[in-house]
Amino acid sequence: PMPKDQFVTALRDADACFITLSEQIDAEILAQSPNLKVIANMAVGYDNIDVESATANNVVVTNTPNVLTETTAELGFTLMLAIAR
């Protein structure tokens, strides 16, 4: 993950932010990102984002739910078949 001071600098003039679970967005970062309109979390969850602060700052938070559900099931089934051999 990017160090927090560099992350804040990078977001200072940004309208949108695409992140993974390794980046944390809290109230402090949101307060220093006045132009930020959307945070796109490239993960199923959004525990790494202070959603309450984002909402208070009129920032939309998105994620990618169910993106790996089918693939995970297929892997699990294939592993069971491999063990059965």
- Residue pLDDT, tens place only, 10-60: 999 999 999 999 999 999 999 999 999 999 999 888 999 999 999 999 999
Integer Cα distance of 55 and 67 in angstroms = 24
How many whole angstroms separate alpha carbon 16 and alpha carbon 59? Answer: 9
CB 29 within 8 A of CB 23: no
User: What confidence score (pLDDT) does residue 70 get?
Assistant: 85
pLDDT in tens, 35-49: 999 999 998 889 999
Contact between 29 and 9 under an 8 Å Cβ cutoff? The reply is no
Q: Give the CATH architecture of domain 4-84.
A: 3-Layer(aba) Sandwich (3.40)
DSSP annotation of 25: B
| Average pLDDT score, the chain | 93
Entry pTM: 0.77
Length of the chain: 85
Measured distance CA(82)–CA(56) in Å, rounded? 50
70-85 per-position pLDDT tens digit: 888 999 999 999 999 7
